[in-house]
Chain A
Amino acid sequence: MKLSRAFLIAFMSTCLMMIMAQQGRAQEEQLDIGISTNEIAITSDFAGADLTVFGALDNADRFLLQIGQYDIIVALEGPAKRTVVRRKERFFGIWINRHSMTFEPAPASYSISSTIPIDRIAKQIDLSGRTIGIEHIHLTPSGRVGDGTLVPEFKEALLRLRVDDGLYQSEPVGVEFVSSSLFRATLRLPASIPVGRHKLRAFLFKNNEFVMERELPLRVVKTGIEQFIFELAHQHAFLYGVLAVVLAMLTGWTASVMFRRD
């Protein structure tokens, strides 16, 4: 009796393990990402930086992984800001801003990195739907835009200028597998990266189909004296102005005392 009960327990637990294993095999691939910090500090000598993102791909099919059917895209989206684009035109011999277009809040910076160029990972419509890639950042003009014929031009100019400034950038082969399940992505952060709440997004694609997405917050902050000055200037603007004047008068006074000639 005792023996049969022990046998039964052993049998049942074996079955349970087999069921669990079965479920495990059917389980979908899991994507996870991690960064060493959730805050990037801009110091006085900040000249841009590389952000390294580590990630794990669990439950991946070994065969598909080996023939490179898994693709990963990692993107860092900056805080959304309203943007005005202006175009200069010649007016009585001088070049002045004549046309302008305001765009609804959109990421002020965007850095993307992927295993292979993103247009080979997924169809345009999928990328656009999930706002993946520089050309798929949603730029919607607000207010009066006339007949709308100028919209593509202004949109194109905005993207081009942001790319030139390094605010929007892409690294088509910046994600690499370091082992069968671990990958590393490198994102370039420009020197002029806007401060605020950034979003780190990672996407997993299998056979050119979307599988899952992960998101992590990342704060970009000014530190030390820079942050102090910035906050003082914006939150206690009057006091800051007075301080600037006092500093100037002190400098002037010190100079007149030090270099007194009369």
Chain B
Amino acid sequence: MSIYLPIAEISVNAFIILGMGAAVGFLSGMFGVGGGFLITPLLIFYNIPPAVAVATGANQVVASSFSGAMSHFRRGTLDIKLGLTLLAGGLVGASVGIYLFTLLRRLGQLDLIISLFYVTFLSIIGALMLVESVNSIRRAAANRPVTLRKPGQHNWVHRLPFKMRFKRSKLYLSAIPVVVLGFGIGVLTSIMGVGGGFIMVPAMIYLLRIPTNVVIGTSLFQIIFVTAFTTVIQATANQSVDIFLAGMLMIAGVIGAQYGVRVGQKLRGEQLRALLALLVLAVGVRLALDLVLTPDEFYSVVTTKEGF
């Protein structure tokens, strides 16, 4: 069944889009990630214009992070003050990102930068996750306890000024690294169309030493607002949010996620992380190949504005 996307201005097969949404939803439920970093490249592979894929990806993440954050909110595993501090940086970062996005689109380098960002982040995060999970699997096999957070151990981050007290997280931490992290994720949200959870969660755990139980809820909390903000600004500045496409992805995504969660509960954490790492690396490699291999077509055409 082919369906015409009013903003992307192409006809697509609705079942492929729904399938994509369901598959990514399944994976995001299984691994507890937003799925933006999978949706956007998949849409680009399916010939959706990258600008539309990124903006629509951000919109789709609003839905998946919202349903996730709701349950964390009910359970109270969410640090609002920490979330708002992250958000302050995130909104500024998203604004800067949109400005860059519009500029790059005009220069014709947007697709390249999107690909480069994806290749860079997916390879780094994928490799780090793979190493970490393989180590955990080894440790588990040797029957040694698995610890993520070593209490009492401080790093340079904890010597920075402007300290704030985050009661829910039981932390006394400088606002600088929190705002900077939020800012960085905000830039990534607007350029890559991701929520940024796959970067924010490890950064919060390993760098800021935030207790694991509030990390997911808090990151989801700030992701909702940054992606919502990005969606509105992308729609206003670039008219690149396709509500049809986003709607199909969301509905299929939230349903797929429910089944993913069930499967995810049966698998062990470190095995799950190793699988996710391999998936992340595979997407990164695929995008890298597109950049490196000699393309079939050297030319591309963009129709800009109405002449007369």
Contact = CB atoms under 8 A, between A and B. Distances in A.
Interface of A: 42-47, 79-90, 93-97, 100, 104-106, 108, 154, 157-158, 160-162, 191-192, 194, 196, 222, 225-227, 229-230, 233-234, 237-238, 240-245, 247-249, 251-256, 259-262
Given A247-B247, A252-B65, A83 B235 contact: no
Interface string B198-239: 000000000000000000000000001000100111111101
A248 B304 contact: no
Contacts of B150: none
B59 interface: yes
Contact of B307 (A100, A104, A191, A242): A104
Given A161-B297, A229-B7, A245-B228, A234 B239 contact: yes
A161 B68 CA distance: 44
A241 B304 contact: no
B302 interface: yes
A196 B305 CA distance: 12
B2 A241 contact: no
A47 B7 contact: no
Interface string B45-66: 0000000000000011011111
Contacts of A158: 299, 301
A249 B307 contact: no
B135 interface: no
Interface of B: 1-4, 6-7, 9-11, 59-60, 62-68, 70-71, 74-75, 108-109, 111-112, 116, 224, 228, 231-237, 239, 241, 243-244, 246-247, 250-251, 254-255, 257-258, 261, 291-295, 297-308
A95 B9 CA distance: 26
A4 B3 CA distance: 79
Q: Which 4 A-B pairs have the closest CB atoms?
A: A105-B307, A252-B66, A241-B235, A241-B232
Contact of A248 (B10, B60, B68, B302): B60
A89 B108 CA distance: 13
A243 B243 contact: yes
Contacts of A43: 4
B63 A252 contact: yes
B6 A248 contact: no
Given A44-B3, A161-B301, 8 more contacts: A157-B298, A225-B6, A237-B236, A244-B235, A244-B246, A245-B232, A247-B247, A248-B228
Contacts of A234: 239
16 contacts: A45-B1, A84-B302, A85-B302, A86-B108, A88-B295, A88-B298, A95-B295, A97-B111, A192-B9, A241-B233, A247-B250, A249-B66, A252-B254, A256-B67, A256-B71, A261-B71
Contacts of A256: 66-68, 70-71
Nearest to B304: A82
A245 B62 CA distance: 7
B292 A95 contact: yes
Contacts of B308: 80, 105
Contacts of B254: 251-252, 254-255, 259
Contacts of B74: 262
A233 B239 contact: yes
A242 B112 contact: no
Nearest to B299: A157
Given A191-B11, A244-B59, A251 B250 contact: yes
B301 A83 contact: yes
A104 B303 CA distance: 11
Nearest to A106: B307
Contacts of A229: 6-7, 243-244
A38 B235 CA distance: 32
A100 to B, nearest CB: 6
A60 B205 CA distance: 86
Nearest to B119: A94
Given A82-B305, A248-B59, A88 B300 contact: yes
A81 B6 contact: no
B306 A87 contact: no
A81 B235 contact: no
Nearest to B106: A84
Contacts of B9: 192
A249 B302 CA distance: 33
B70 A253 contact: yes
A213 B201 CA distance: 68
A41 B65 CA distance: 37
Nearest to B65: A252
A95 B255 CA distance: 38
Nearest to B251: A251
Nearest to B1: A45
B109 A96 contact: yes
Nearest to B11: A191
Contacts of B241: 233, 240-241, 244
B81 to A, nearest CB: 22
A46 B12 CA distance: 10
Contacts of A93: 292
Given A44-B4, A230-B7, A84 B108 contact: yes
Residue of A230, A238, A248, A252 with most partner-chain B CB within 10 A: A248
Contact of A87 (B10, B233, B298): B298
